[in-house]
Structure 1
Amino acid sequence: MSNTDRLAQLSEAGVSIWLDDLSRERLSTGNLADLIRDKHVVGVTTNPTIFANALSNGAAYDAQVKELAERGADLDATVRELTTSDVRNAADLFRDVYNATNGTDGRVSIEVDPRLARDTDKTIAEAKDLWKAVDRPNLMVKIPATDEGLPAITAALAEGISINVTLIFSVERYAQVIDAYFAGLEQAKANGHDLKGIHSVASFFVSRVDTEVDKRLNKIGTDEAKALLGEAGIANTRLAYAKFEELFASDRWKALAAAGANAQRPLWASTGVKDPAYSDTRYVDQLVVRNVVNTMPEKTMDAVADHAELTGDTVTGRGDEARGVFDKLSAAGIDVPDVFVVLETEGVEKFEKSWQELLETVTGQLNKAKG
C-alpha cells in the first residue's frame, strides 16, 4: 500500500485529517498547500506552543514585526496581528475544502489567550475579538474545557461563533462540554442564528493520559500495574466516543438537529506518541471511526502514511472493554479522578508557559525592529 493510499483509506473510513501545526513558513513555501493536495489534510489546529515555536524559528515574521513596530503597535497587538494573519491566510487556503464539505472541514483553529482559562467573561470577550479579527467563516475559536471555560463556550456559540473545545481529558468533563454545546445552540437559535452555520469539535487529548497514568503505574510497580501500561489513553478515548453516541442520540439533540444543527464531532488531539516503546501510529490506527477528526503533527502523519495498520473501525462497540480497563486501573491503585485534575491543570500551565515564551520572543523582535 502506498503512502497516499493509507491516508486516503483513513479519510475514507470517516476520519478527517487535520494538521496540528501552522507557521508562516508553511504558508509561504507552499508546504501547507502541498499537504492539502497530496496528504488529504482538510484542516489545521494551532495552540500557543505551536505559535511560540513558529515565531522563534527563522525570519519569516521580521517584515511584519518591523511594520507593526513602525506603526507603534504594542506587544499584545503585535502578537494578535502575527497570529491572526497566519490563521486568516490558512483559512483562505482551506476555503475550497470548506465549501466542498458544507463547512464540516476546511477549518482553522486559533486559541484564546491561555492566561484567561480561569476567567469566563474575559474568555468570552477574547473569543468575540478573535472571531472578528480573523473574519473568516471557516475559523474555529479554541476555548479550554475548564470549569470557567464551559459557560464561555455556551456564550460564544450563542453568538454564532464556531468553537473548538480544547483540553478535554475525562469523559465526565466531555459530557459537560456536550451539555454546554447543546445550551449554546439553544441560545443561538433563540438569538435568531442559523444553526447550520455553527460548527464545533471537542478535542479529547490522548497521549497525555498514557504519559500520566504510565508514570503512576511504574511507581506502583506491581505486575498487575505494569500489565496496564499504555492502556489508558486509547480506552479513555473509546469511552468518549461511546458518550458521544449516547448523548447525540438524545431527544434534546434530535430537537436541535431538526432545527438544522450540526453534531459536535469528537477530535482526537495529542496524538503524537511520547513513549518510544509504543507504535508511533497507535493513536491513529487504534482510534478509527466515522465522523471524527484526528489532528496530527506532521511526523505522526508521515508515520501513518508509511506503516499504519488500518483495519477499519477500531472504536465502535468497545465501550465495555474500555470501562474494564479503568476498573483494572482503579483496582491497581490509580486515582483516576486525580489523573484528570492533574492533566487539566498541567495543560493550562503548559499553554500559559508557551504564551509567555511567545511574548518574550515577540518582545525581542519588536526591540530589534525599533533599533
Structure 2
Amino acid sequence: MSDRLKALAQAGVSIWLDDLSRERIETGNLADLVKEKSVVGVTTNPTIFAAAIANGERYDDQVRKLVADGADVDTVIFDLTTEDVRNACDILAPVAQATKDDGRVSIEVEPTLANDTDATIASAKALWAAVDRPNALIKIPATLEGLPAITAAISEGISVNVTLIFSVERYRAVMDAYLTGLEQAKEKGIDLSTIRSVASFFVSRVDTEIDKRLEKIGTPEATALAGKAAVANARLAYAAFEEVFGGERWAALEAAGANRQRPLWASTGVKNPAYPDTLYVTDLVVADTVNTMPEKTLEAFADHGEVTGDMVSGRAAEAQQVFDDLATAGVDLPDVFTVLELEGVDKFKASWTELVDTVKGQMESVK
C-alpha cells in the first residue's frame, strides 16, 4: 500500500476513484485499488461510462442481448451502467460494512434533467431501485431545480451525492435541502442511519475560470491571485460545513441516528500545468472529507504527494481575504459562479450526448 495514500487516509480523507469500467471490475483492478491504494469509494459520470463502453468488448454480449430483445438506446445505457455500479457496490460492500460512511459508488441521474425537478426525482428513484444496493449514491446536480429533488430523494431514504456545487451560497442551500429531507424521512419513520450523502464541491474549474479573468485584468494585484481561488473557496465551504453540522438543527437529527453529509472535493485533477499536480489534494487535507480523484491524480499523489497536516480548519478568514482581494481586483464573483454552473450543466449534457452516441455505435456493431 502506498505510504503517501495511507497517510492521506489516516488524516481523515476518504480516497474515492473518479472512474469505473467493466474491465476494472472483472479483472480485479478495482479490488486491487481498494487493497493497495486506499481507495474506499467510486464516482462515475456519463463521460466515464462512454470511455469504458467505447474501449471495452466486455459490454458486447450484454448489448447484443438487449438489442435482440428490442431495447432502445436509453434502456441499454440504463442497464449497462446500473450493472457496473451494482457490481462495484458489491466489491466495495466490505468497506461499507467496516466503515461508517465509505464503500460508496455513485451513479448520476440523466444530465438532461438538470432543470426538471420531477423528472430528476423519477430518475433518482429508478436508478436507486435498479442498482438495489445500500451503498449506492445517486448523483443529483445542485441546480435550483435539483435542490427540491435532493430533499425528495433523501425523504424517501435514497442516499445522494449532490454534484455540481461551485459556490458556498449554493452549498448552504444543498445542506439545507439535505437536512429538510432527513426531517421529512424522520416523519415517515425511515431509519435515518441508513441514509448517506456527500456534497461534491468542484475545485479546479474555479481556478480555471477566475485565472482567465485575472489574466484579462492584468494588474500586478490581479495576477498575484492566480491559483488561489479554488482552494480558498473549498476552505470557506468547509467552514460552512462545520457551522451547519455543529448547529442545533443538526444535533436533533444526529440524535435520531442521521449521518453527516460530508464535503467531497471533486474536479481535483489540476488543469494548469504550472501548478503542482497534487495541489487540490495536498492543500485540502482535512478530516471528514472525501477527495475523488482520476487515476492520474491518484498515482501522482502515491508517487510524490505530501500530507502536512490539516490544511483547511481555521483558515476561513484567510480564505475570505482571498475572495475580498479578488473582488477588489475586479473579479465579478457572482458571475463566476453563474457561468460555472451553466457551463457545468452544459458539459454534463454534452457528456450524456457522447454516451448516447457511443452506445448507439455499439448497438450497431453487434447487430
Q: Within the alignment, does 1:32 sit opposite 2:30 as a pair?
A: yes
Counterpart of 1:80, as a letter, is F
Contact 2:171 2:237 in 1 (8 A): yes
1:182-193 → structure 2 map (5 Å cutoff)? 182-193=179-190
Long gaps (5+) in structure 2: none
Q: Report the equivalent of 2:178.
A: 181
Given candidates 324, 327, 350, the residue that maps to 1:327 is 324
1:123-272 → structure 2 map (5 Å cutoff)? 123-272=120-269
Counterpart of 2:81, as a letter, is T
Q: Secondary structure at the match of 2:2?
A: helix
1:58 CA displacement: 3.2
Distance in 1 of aligned mates of 2:223 and 2:309: 29
Q: Within the alignment, does 1:117 sit opposite 2:114 as a pair?
A: yes
Distance in 2 of aligned mates of 1:274 and 1:57: 24
After superposition, give the CA deviation of every residue in 1:37-60 in whole Å (9 maximum; x if it has no partner).
100000000011211221122322
Contact 2:203 2:268 in 1 (8 A): yes
Distance in 1 of aligned mates of 2:106 and 2:83: 13
Q: Within the alignment, does 1:314 sit opposite 2:318 as a pair?
A: no
1:213 CA displacement: 0.4
Superposition misfits of 4+ residues, deviation over 4 angstroms: none
Q: Within the alignment, does 1:49 sit opposite 2:44 as a pair?
A: no
Distance in 1 of aligned mates of 2:303 and 2:341: 33
Given candidates 83, 90, 98, the residue that maps to 1:100 is 98
TM-score, length basis structure 1:
0.98
1:368 CA displacement: 2.1
1:263-282 → structure 2 map (5 Å cutoff)? 263-282=260-279
Counterpart of 1:11, as a letter, is A
Given candidates 48, 53, 56, the residue that maps to 1:58 is 56
Distance in 2 of aligned mates of 1:180 and 1:205: 18
1:309 CA displacement: 1.9
Distance in 2 of aligned mates of 1:230 and 1:49: 26
Distance in 1 of aligned mates of 2:72 and 2:296: 35
Given candidates 63, 70, 73, the residue that maps to 1:72 is 70
Distance in 2 of aligned mates of 1:51 and 1:333: 40
Counterpart of 1:97, as a letter, is V
Q: Report the equivalent of 2:359.
A: 362
Identical-pair percentage:
68
Distance in 1 of aligned mates of 2:266 and 2:235: 13
Q: Secondary structure at the match of 1:141?
A: strand
Counterpart of 2:14, as a letter, is S
Aligned-pair Cα RMSD in Å: 0.8
**Total equivalences in the alignment:** 367
